[in-house]
Amino acid sequence: MNLLADLRNYQYSLSSVEGLRIHMEMGNIFIDVPKCSFSEMLKVVNSSNEHVISIGASFSSEADSHLVCFQNEEGNYQTQASSMPDKTRTVTGASFVVFNGALKASSGFIAKSSIVEDGLMVQIPPETMESLRTALREQTDFHISCGRNDGGELRENVTVRWVDWTSPVNTGKTSGIDGRALDGVHSMRMQQDAEFEVDGRAITCTEVFYQLKDPDCSLASVLPSCSVFQKEIAVAACSALTPHLAVLTSSGINSLSLRVSTQADMVEYQAGSGGRLLPQRYMNELDGALIPVIHGGSASVPQTAMDVEFLFYITHTI
């Protein structure tokens, strides 16, 4: 916690690498990094400080258990492994790894690994840290033997491996409008500048899904042209629904989706929650907010044929 927390600004976060998985087995820990995520790993390494490299990991469906951290009644944090029912625990996943390059020779260890909350801490000497940085920058595998200098303690091996593996995209996710599967549909987190809050409730757009209809069109080529448009749509939708947050939540609606379908000469939209369309009174409110954006907003409507689906959450404010 002390390594990752910014106590001055009350922040606790770490950079993630898409598809990175941590597998802990008896005597071995494997940190698998997809080769396709090399640029993300490079950013993490270059932005880290001299002594610490911290990396967030993805959930691994190949692990039969996963580390979880919870707070007990005394307020202390405890770690335990949550296992799949009726399955022997052989591979345990973790949520992050921290390489701490401040291990001193006087400690009596050549390297040391330990579980911290729901992640892994690997303490290594400064010279090993430099070698690790070089290996990560050169996309080469790296091996760390953990244990005492005298060899009197059973050693554990930590291996960073570059693998030919692509992380599944939005596996198991479905649209709140009609239950359409979103497996394989790329999405991006959304940073919403404005706040929409009333009577202790707030609505926020958290994620945007992009489903392109032209197989020859790439998401990278589309995003620059629709970034302003999607922000205006999200703000307009939040503004329209904010007066109704209390009624929506009392109806059991805590999350909802808005799908905007664009083509060269046509734009249409739908909104729903739990696989059902929103009642017409809410659609009327959305009409009044979205139509001015579509026909007279500061950003032009994307000409690419695609569905852009916005995910909103309604939360209670403290």
pLDDT tens for each residue of 305-316: 889 999 999 999
Q: What's the mean pLDDT in 90-113?
A: 90
- Beta-strand ranges (E) seen in the chain are 5-6, 11-12, 21-25, 28-34, 52-56, 65-71, 77-83, 92-93, 96-100, 109-116, 119-123, 142-148, 156-163, 186-189, 197-198, 201-212, 255-263, 266-273, 276-277, 306-316
Structure tokens at 28: 């071995």
Structure tokens at 64: 């039969």
The whole-angstrom separation of Cα 124 and Cα 269 is 54
Q: What is the pLDDT of residue 272?
A: 96
The whole-angstrom separation of Cα 313 and Cα 245 is 10
Q: What's the mean pLDDT in 30-46?
A: 92
Structure tokens at 107: 């400690």
The whole-angstrom separation of Cα 1 and Cα 54 is 11
Helices (H), 209-275: 219-241, 245-250
Q: What is the pLDDT of residue 3?
A: 53
The whole-angstrom separation of Cα 201 and Cα 161 is 45
pLDDT in tens, 186-210: 888 888 888 899 999 999 999 999 9
Q: What's the mean pLDDT in 125-153?
A: 89
Q: Is the confidence at residue 99, as pLDDT, over 90?
A: yes
